[in-house]
């Protein structure tokens, strides 16, 4: 499995390097371009559709590798997994490519995303089946009326999450690559060979595309790329586990920690400012970091670091979840991350620069401590 994974990674990277310039010419030819405006950081017309390059690399290399994998290495579940990822992913890429060219309505995009999730659930019988009672050993099967909508919600939600952070050159591709690398490591530790190969091939395509997408970008991935990466992350993060539990479900949440937290703070920010939740703004994480004076490259690299931190936490949490302290370790990780996220959000002003409850509390405690020291 390791040799096949390495081969797939190299071939996918090479193919993406060849395909991306061709996709760039095709995007200009069909008019799939991104024009600058007051919300965007680029100042010239840029081609979109870049996602077609790593989607094509992933699909072609996976199909080429399948005949080389011994039949006894594949379970029925593995075959359904690959079929669901390729079929649903193709539908998502088609949707994104049409949106890159024609700017489809949000309602239509949501309906197609739900349709792709339904293909996964009903066409390939892929769903979240089990749940563990927190701090207990009992495992109970979820009924269809819970598992089906939960799976569809997860797939649609994560599919859109990557699209929300696609605001700087190389940002969405890099963050996705880090998350996929984390899934690959966890899958290797758990003996999930099929998921390791899928991650390796997809990671190769992403890195090949990043040669043209990192600042200064020559092409954008567009919705075709962002939605496909989100869909792939939703599938791989869910299917990297033999069963989804309350403990292990924290792991995929950590894997998309950057887009998830950015989305959460965006909702809070718009509620605080009494603005519509879906109204675009320039208050996202990358905007805040740039407003603090960080350059384009440094902003992206800082967010890469945050994503790597979340990925490392996910790997550690996954390892501990298999031990006797799994539930308690998960609880500690969640509490620490929530505090760190809140402090980070207050430092950069991602919600409201004037409202900093934790930092103000710490400042008051410091003043009281100083006053107490002086009185002695």
pLDDT band for position 204 (50/70/90)?
A: very high
Of residues 334 and 46, which shows the higher confidence score?
46
Q: What is the pLDDT of residue 29?
A: 95
Percent over 90 (pLDDT), the chain: 34
How far is the C-alpha of 299 from the C-alpha of 293, rounded, in Å? Answer: 9
What are the tens digits of pLDDT across the range 97-145? 999 999 999 899 999 999 999 999 999 988 876 544 444 444 445 566 7
Q: What is the pLDDT of residue 31?
A: 93
How far is the C-alpha of 278 from the C-alpha of 123, rounded, in Å? Answer: 32
Backbone angles phi and psi of 99, in degrees to 5: -70, -35
pLDDT for residue 311 is more than 70? yes
What are the tens digits of pLDDT across the range 312-341? 877 777 776 655 555 566 667 667 777 777
Q: How many CB atoms lie within 10 A of CB 125?
A: 12
- Judge contact between 255 and 162, C-beta under 8 A: no
What are the tens digits of pLDDT across the range 207-231? 999 999 998 899 999 999 999 999 9
How far is the C-alpha of 287 from the C-alpha of 296, rounded, in Å? Answer: 10
The C-alpha angle 144, 149, 151, rounded to 5 degrees, equals 95
DSSP string, 242-294: SS--TTTTHHHHHHTHHHHHHHHHHHHHHHHTT--TT---S-SHHHHHHHTT-
pLDDT band for position 36 (50/70/90)?
A: confident
Burial label for 322, CB within 10 Å (0-12, 13-18, 19+), is: exposed
């Amino acid at each position: 499995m390791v040799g096949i994974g390495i081969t797939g990674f190299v071939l996918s990277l090479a193919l993406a390097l060849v395909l991306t310039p061709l996709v760039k010419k095709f995007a200009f030819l069909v008019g799939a371009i991104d024009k600058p405006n007051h919300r965007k950081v680029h100042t010239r017309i840029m081609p979109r559709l870049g996602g077609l390059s790593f989607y094509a690399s992933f699909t072609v290399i996976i199909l080429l590798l399948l005949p080389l994998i011994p039949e006894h290495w594949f379970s029925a579940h593995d075959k359904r997994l690959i079929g669901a990822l390729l079929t649903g992913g193709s539908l998502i890429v088609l949707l994104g490519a049409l949106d890159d060219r024609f700017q489809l309505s949000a309602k239509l995009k949501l309906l197609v995303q739900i349709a792709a999730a339904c293909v996964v659930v009903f066409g390939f019988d892929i769903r979240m089946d089990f749940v563990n009672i927190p701090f207990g050993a009992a495992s109970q099967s979820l009924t269809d009326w819970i598992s089906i909508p939960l799976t569809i919600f997860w797939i649609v939600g994560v599919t859109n999450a990557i699209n929300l952070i696609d605001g700087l050159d190389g940002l969405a591709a890099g963050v996705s690559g880090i998350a996929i690398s984390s899934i690959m490591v966890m899958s290797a530790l758990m003996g999930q060979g099929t998921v390791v190969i899928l991650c390796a091939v997809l990671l190769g395509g992403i890195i090949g595309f990043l040669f043209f997408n990192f600042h200064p970008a020559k092409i954008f991935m567009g919705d075709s790329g962002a939605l496909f990466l989100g869909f792939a992350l939703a599938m791989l993060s869910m299917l990297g586990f033999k069963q989804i539990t309350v403990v292990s479900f924290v792991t995929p949440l950590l894997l998309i920690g950057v887009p998830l937290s950015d989305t959460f703070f965006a909702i809070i920010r718009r509620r605080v400012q009494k603005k519509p939740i879906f109204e675009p703004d320039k208050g996202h994480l990358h905007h805040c970091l740039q407003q603090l004076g960080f350059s384009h490259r440094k902003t992206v690299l800082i967010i890469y670091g945050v994503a790597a931190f979340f990925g490392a936490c996910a790997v550690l949490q996954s390892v501990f979840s298999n031990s006797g302290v799994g539930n308690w370790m998960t609880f500690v990780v969640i509490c620490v991350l929530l505090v760190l996220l809140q402090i980070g959000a207050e430092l950069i002003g991602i919600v409201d620069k004037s409202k900093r409850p934790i930092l103000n509390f710490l400042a008051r405690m410091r003043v009281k401590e100083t006053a107490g020291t002086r009185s002695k």
